[in-house]
Amino acid sequence: MIMETFEHQIAFIAVRISIEAPNNAGTSVGTGFLYHAPLKDGTDRSINLLVSNKHVFIDPRGKLSISFNLKNKDGNPDYGNIRHFESVNFHDSYYEHPDPEVDLACVNVSGLTNENVFYKNLGKEFIKDVDYGQVTLGSQVLFVGYPDNRYDSVNNLPLVRKGTIASVPDIDFNGRGQIVIDAQVYPGSSGSPVFVVVNNHYVLLGVVSETMIRHSQLQTLPTALPKVGVQDILGLGIVVKQKHVRELFEYTVNEFVRRNPLTV
């Protein structure tokens, strides 16, 4: 029986994403998380979304690979009994945030999550508006993912890590809908959901998009890209704010309903 604390549950919303772009154009490894989205079209229809960054998915004409632990007879994860899924050309299931400046996208994986696999969806209670009156510089954050493609490959489990908020949270960093966290964010962390405690409960602060590096000047780097020497990592990460995640969900639901209208 898995423990029901939030810190344990988030290990099962995270999914390692591997993308092979077409025509040998490159490979991306990053993090995604699962969200159950009601369609709100007067029916009980819903879809399961795999959420990450646009730059993680690279090209929806490529090959998407993800893995889950199967369930045992008690409905718990059968650690190490792994089911691998591949989808070549997932364009029809792919949705990008409509703003080209917002590095968020998702894939409808409802067909895969209907299989006998163990996973958890991020609950809607975690995407309520962030009360920035309760979130300050130095507030601790928790995030889950696959930094530098490191994870428990035998048991198919991600790594959960901590950091703190480094930029004024209610101000959009550099004029964009982003927050900086003080945390060791490495390539492979793109798409990691980041949580903060508000009123004694965790809520989604946002999604990791970039890590800051130092060469001759300060730069940022998409965290799905290899390879940056460890000595160049500043220990600062860029997080896309939760408000943009909610925008992605709203856009995706509306677009899915448009593409898949009800038939009489």
The domains of the chain, with CATH numbers, are: 6-124+246-259 (2.40.10.10), 125-241 (2.40.10.10)
Summarised one tens digit per residue, pLDDT across range 14-65 is 999 999 988 877 788 999 999 999 998 888 889 999 999 999 999 999 999 9
Structure-token pair, residue 180: 């900086």
Kindly list the distances between the CA atom of residue 191 and the CA atoms of 53, 185, 195, 260, in Å, as whole numbers in the listed order. Answer: 5, 11, 13, 27
**What ranges make up the beta strands (E) of 112-192?**
117-118, 140-145, 159-165, 178-182
Mean pLDDT of 170-184: 94
Find the Cα–Cα–Cα–Cα dihedral 50, 56, 61, 64, rounded to 10°.
-50
Model pLDDT, residue 228: 45
pTM value is: 0.90
Higher-pLDDT residue of 64, 114: 64
Could you give the C-alpha distances from 199 to 8, 182, 196, 231, 253, in angstroms and in order? Answer: 20, 22, 10, 37, 29
pLDDT of 79 above 90:
yes
Least confident range of 34-48, 197-211, 224-238: 224-238
Tokens for 224? 């799905």
Angstrom CA distances, 43 to 64, 90, 245, stand at 30, 26, 23
Query: What CA–CA distances, in Å, run from 222 to 203, 211, 239?
Result: 24, 6, 11
Phi/psi at 205 (nearest 5 deg)? -80, -40
Kindly state the tokens that stand for 18.
């591997």
Cβ 198 vs Cβ 132: under 8 Å: no
